[in-house]
Amino acid sequence: MQYLRGDALVWWEGVRLGHRGPDRLTFADFIREFDRKYFPKEAMDKKKSDFEHVSQGDMTIREYEVEFNRLRRFARGGITEEDLIRKFLVGMRVEIRNRCCVVTYYRLGDLVEKAAEQEAGLAEELKLFK
């Protein structure tokens, strides 16, 4: 791994030296070993839990999207676009969710764009009524 430096490079060289067998180590081997060394199971479980419970709260839709995408990489395997859309929708604030759930979305990006539009519209309405 040409991009590793310092302790990480020393660690990887040790992994390579310890690997017995005629086969070369694959990138999947690297990821598995890297996660084992630098991302323990407890940390992975915490991130998975964080993703399971992520919600918009006080964030804007754009901020929520960033947090959602940051955490979704920890939900390994088996999560479909439909699952992501449903999860994102459920985590949105109710006043935005209610305006967005009347449409069927096939891409998460489409939902995010519509939700951002609705959020801007709600902010505009609030200004008018104040």
HEC per residue, 35-57: HHHHCCHHHHHHHHHHHHCCCCC
Judge whether residue 112 has pLDDT over 70.
yes
Q: What is the mean pLDDT of residues 58-70?
A: 97
Distance CA 20, CA 86 (A): 45
Confidence of residue 30 (pLDDT cuts 50, 70, 90): confident
| pTM, full prediction | 0.75
pLDDT value for 22: 53
**What DSSP line would sit under 89-129, residue for residue?**
HHHS-HHHHHHHTTS--SSHHHHHHHHHHHHHHHHHHHHHT
